[in-house]
Structure formats: C-alpha cells, structure tokens
Structure 1
C-alpha cells in the first residue's frame, strides 16, 4: 500500500525539538505511530496530524496521470479504455468537460459528444462510466442526461492542461 507523503516545514528546529521532547516526557509509555504523528504535528504548531495534512498542499498522483496520458492519442482522443479503475475515473474528466453545464441532454446528444472525443467505438461504456463515477446523471427511463456540476480534482485539472499542451504542440 502506497502512502501519501506529508511534507513538514519547521521554521525553528530548536523550538520544535524542545516541544517534542516535553510532549514525549509527558507520555506514560512509548507512543504508537498515530500518537507519535500527533505529537510531531503539535510540536510543529498544528492542532493534530489531520490539521497538518489538511494544511499541506496535496501532491499530484503522477503515476495515474502518466497512465491516463497513455490512453489519449496526440489529438486528445481516447484511444483505448484503461484497465485500472482509478485511471478510468481520471480519463472520464475530459468527457465531463465536453458536456455542457446546466443543460439537459438526450442520449443521442451525449453519444455524439462522447464519440467526438474517442478513437475507439464504445461510447456506451463511456456513458455508463460517467454515471458510475458520479460525473453525470440520468433519469430512470434514460431519456435525459445531465452533467453533475463539481470541481475537477487536481489530477483532472493537470490532465486537461497536459492534453491541451500535447495537442497544441
């Protein structure tokens, strides 16, 4: 299992070490990993480890981005369906961006938009996946589709930029 890195900047190492030493002295026994992370975060001036993680800018999942970029050709068209679920979800964002915001669409309109952005012939898979990944919704009878408005993930924004740069260059 890969762990997300949490960088920590300490402006005053002396004050940090004094605070951490005092916290360790106050502990009845050797703290476990979670308790130690909390002590380190507090010594660095955070309320707890979760506060430290929340204040730290997240790093992009470069491996997922690299795998997603391999799925698209030089024109920005999806050439194949990725194997990994995480990469599949990431690769759906450019199609989400193609769907017009705040507008009801028919299945035929959605199919046309999806087919425009792909180089293989399985728009049904993409349409279904947009629903499954909560990027679009449809009525029970399947007549009306609508994009679900939300903020794209940092990885999705990076994918947009890289696809745009590739097709421009």
Structure 2
C-alpha cells in the first residue's frame, strides 16, 4: 500500500538548514553544501536555481496584482494635500486633479444617495479652497460621481481606482485618520 505524501514547508531555507546542521552535529556538511543538498532534494539544480525560481514566481505574482505605479505622479499629488489629508488648492494639471479626486471619492460613502448639500458639506470638509461646486462637477465629468439631471441624489460610482490612486488613497488614509481621531478627542473633552 502506497503511503500518502506528507508536504514539507519551510518559511526560510537558511533557518531550516541551520537547524538541520545542528542536529547532524560534527557530521554536518558546510552550510552552503547543506543548502544546495536541500535545494536538490526539492527538485532544483542547486540553491541559486531555487532562489531564481522563487524570485521569478514573486515577480509574476506581483505583476498580476499590481500595475506599475507612477510614483512621481503620486508624489506630485501628495504635495497638494495638507498634513491632515485635506486638498489645499485646486491643482493646475488635469492629471493631478483627477488623481486628487480619487482620494476625495474614497472618502465618500459607498452605495448611498446624498443631496447636493450633503455632498457639498462632505467635500468642504476635505478641501481648503472653498469650491465644492468645481469638485462636484469635475467628479461627475471624470465618472466618479453621478447625479440626477435635476441636481439631486448624488451617488458615488463604484469602480476600481487606478494603481496610482490606490497608493495615494493609502498614503492619505493615515493623515485623515489622525485628523478624525483629533476631532473625536476634542468633541469628547
């Protein structure tokens, strides 16, 4: 009767190899030789082959989930926000405007209808230049927000943000949380 295979997994080959070497005592081969032996036992030619195969797998997996991010564009946009995550001024470049709008989009409630007053109040809390109408109109033209033709019932359009927007939203989340935390502390005091 064939025995079922027992899977073996080690998070770090170096730690596994050192532990095995200690158990083998004086009869243990050198660290590198033992690591090469373990790599061959796992089906690789040697340790270097195992490392390169693992690195290639990580690159391929990362390529599936992450798109290349234009870090410079994210950095340019981050400069438009203050220390607590509010948009300081309306950016002059359209690409920076659009990226900034994604961060405002992320702070709007999902799946909820809002009046013009509600959306304006929310946007006013997130920017410092006092023009929620420009933000509303631009968000509608960018496909981030929808409204009825009569100007009522604004609603966030649910879609996946681009890679740069995800990075920006993540970076600004810490600033916004700090602001909200301070606001809660002052209201409880």
Identify whether the pair has TM-score above 0.5, normalized to the shorter chain.
yes
Q: Which residue of 1 aligns with 2:146?
A: 137
Note if contact 2:147-2:153 (Cα within 8 Å) is conserved in structure 1: yes
Q: Distance in 2 between matches of 1:147 and 1:73?
A: 24
Task: Please give the secondary structure, in 2, of the residue aligned with 1:86.
Answer: helix
Q: What's the counterpart of residue 146 of structure 1? A: 155
Q: What stretches of structure 1 move > 4 A for 4+ residues in a row? A: 54-57, 166-169
> Please, which runs of 5 or more residues in structure 1 have no aligned partner?
1-53
**Is the alpha carbon distance of 1:103 and 1:55 closer, same or farther for their aligned partners in structure 2, counting shifts above 3 Å?**
closer
Counterpart in the other structure of 1:69: 78
Residue 160 of structure 1 deviates from its aligned partner by 1.4
TM-score, normalised relative to structure 1:
0.63
| Structure 2 CA distance for aligned equivalents of residues 60 and 70 of structure 1 | 17
Q: What is the Cα deviation at residue 164 of structure 1?
A: 2.8
SS at match of 2:146: strand
Q: 2 CA distance for matches of 1:143 and 1:56?
A: 37
Alignment of 1:1-169 (within 5 A): 57-166=66-175
**Alignment RMSD:** 2.0
String of CA shifts for 1:43-93, please: whole Å, max 9, x gaps.
Answer: xxxxxxxxxxx8695210112101100100001000001111111111001
Residue segments in structure 2 that go unaligned for 5+ positions in a row:
1-62, 179-189
Question: Partners of 2:130 and 2:65 in 1: how far apart?
Answer: 42
Question: 1:165 deviation in Å?
Answer: 3.8
Q: Evaluate the alpha carbon distance shift between residue 140 and residue 57 of structure 1 in structure 2; reply closer, same or farther with a 3 A threshold.
A: same
In the comparison of the two structures, how many residue pairs are matched?
116
CA distance 1:59–1:95, shift in 2 (3 Å) = same
Larger radius of gyration: 2
Residues of 2 paired with 1:110 and 1:57: CA distance?
31
Residues of 1 paired with 2:122 and 2:65: CA distance?
Answer: 37
Q: Structure 2 vs 1, CA of residues 95 and 55 (structure 1 numbering), >3 Å: closer, same or farther?
A: closer
Q: How far, CA to CA, are the matches of 1:73 and 1:104 in structure 2?
A: 28
* Native 8 Å contact 2:66 2:163 kept in 1: no
| TM-score (ref. length: structure 2) | 0.57
